[in-house]
Amino acid sequence: IWKMVDGKIPVNIISVIGGNFASATVLISYGALLGKTSPLQLVTVAVLEIAIFACNEYLGVQILKAADIGGSIFLHTFGAYF
């Protein structure tokens, strides 16, 4: 999932935007969970959701070649259905 260069993960504008998209999926899911779950459960959901979102995005974009301009097909649908 990570594209390492000499054992380091490069931080550039593309990776920062990808991180923002991944965090947006968590925020979309939090909208349904807030007030019903404990903080520990929210942290667990966030960690699992980021990993599963990365796999889902890789599968959709790289393997299936299904992508839209803004990436919202993976961002909003995954956050809503997770």
Instruction: Kindly report, residue by residue over 25-82, the tens digit of the pLDDT.
Output: 999 889 889 899 999 999 999 999 999 988 888 888 889 998 888 778 888 888 788 7
Question: Is the whole-model pTM more than 0.75?
Answer: yes
The answer to whether position 5 is within a domain reads no
Query: Tokens 């992508």 label which residue?
Result: 67
Our count of domains for the chain comes to 1
In a domain, 53, yes or no: yes
Residue 49: inside a domain: yes
Residue 1 lies in a domain: no
Range of the domain at 76: 13-81
Q: Tell me, yes or no, whether 6 lies in a domain.
A: no
Residue at 7 is within a domain: no
Residue 37 inside a domain? The answer is yes
Note whether residue 2 is domain-resident. no
Rounded Cα distance, 46 and 63, in Å: 25
